[in-house]
Amino acid sequence: MALKKLVAGNWKMHGLSADLAEVEAIASEAQRYPAVDVALCVPSILIERAARAVPGFPIGGQDVHHAEKGAHTGCTSALMLLDAGAVLTIVGHSERRDAQRESDAEVKAKATAALSVGLSVILCVGESLDVREQGGAIETVTAQLDRSLPDSLEGEAELAIAYEPIWAIGTGKIPTMPEIAEMHAAIRATLRGRFGAAGEQVRILYGGSVKASNAGEIFGIRDVDGALVGGASLTAADFIPIVAAGAAAS
């Protein structure tokens, strides 16, 4: 049976107090599409105010430190995210893997730390353009996933995977539909290999230049269980049509 779709927004380093009105608009309009789970991952400094502004609507972080606490200047622990009102977090986004040199082992530790306190996780993987052009995308992404996955899926919090080809993020370019289908099938096989039947229940999101005009086609692909959306999640006007496409494909 198809999994309920999850459409999550990643606001990256966008969002001031004035933008809380947009969070409210998204949360309010998302209620029209109960067939889809909707969430927004906002800058950490906005989490508490966003969570207070839209009680019951899932607000998430964009990163988490793997340690419980300690001498880690500028970092945010899983318990801190939870304490601020977050219910999920992204880990391993390619912008962090690149700019902060995050390794697969660190991503695994972050996912494990978040899940252990009850925060759901969207774990990102994806290949560079070079790797895609050289024909190594499937092998690279499944190996990256294998090294980044937590050891177990026990507990209440949910793990989701976001397949985000690095070259598709913020560029307006996307893989072909068969390429997305092939990658999602390979990710599903990896999850099944690691977690057995539980691996069938892990949602696999596609991310990279999703917008209203391409969301319907992407959501129609087998094993695409939702989307992680960057630029088009910043306003209700852009984001809600993507949620609607998710509902239509459900």
Q: Which residues bind ligand PEP (CB under 6 A)?
A: 10, 12, 164, 169-170, 207-210, 228-232
**Shortest distance (Å) from residue 193 CB to ligand PEP:** 26
* Closer Cβ to ligand PEP, 11 or 195, answer by number: 11
- 184 has catalytic annotation: no
How many whole angstroms separate alpha carbon 111 and alpha carbon 129? 26
d(C-alpha 32, C-alpha 41), whole Å: 20
Cα dist. 72→68, 92, 95, 186 in Å?
A: 10, 18, 20, 36
119 vs 166, beta carbon nearer ligand PEP: 166
CA–CA distances in Å: residue 203 to residues 83, 99, 161, 199: 25, 26, 6, 9
- Of 102, 106, 164, 184, the catalytic one is 164
Position 55: which residue type? Answer: P
Orientation angle between helical segments 177-195 and 137-148, nearest 10 degrees: 30
Decide whether 183 or 195 has the Cβ nearer to ligand PEP: 183
Nearer to ligand PEP, 202 or 210 (CB): 210
Q: How far is the CB of 119 from ligand PEP (least distance, A)?
A: 18
Looking at beta carbons only, is 164 or 195 nearer to ligand PEP? 164
Neighbours of 194 (CB within 10 A): 17
Around Cβ 143, how many Cβ atoms within 10 Å?
14
Q: Which of 22, 65, 66, 93 is catalytic?
A: 93
The whole-angstrom separation of Cα 63 and Cα 110 is: 8
Q: Give the nearest distance from C-beta 223 to ligand PEP in angstroms.
A: 18
Cα–Cα distance between 191 and 204 in angstroms, integer? 10
Active-site residue, 93 included? yes
Continuous H helices in 171-223: 177-195, 212-219
Q: Which residues are the active-site residues?
A: 93, 164
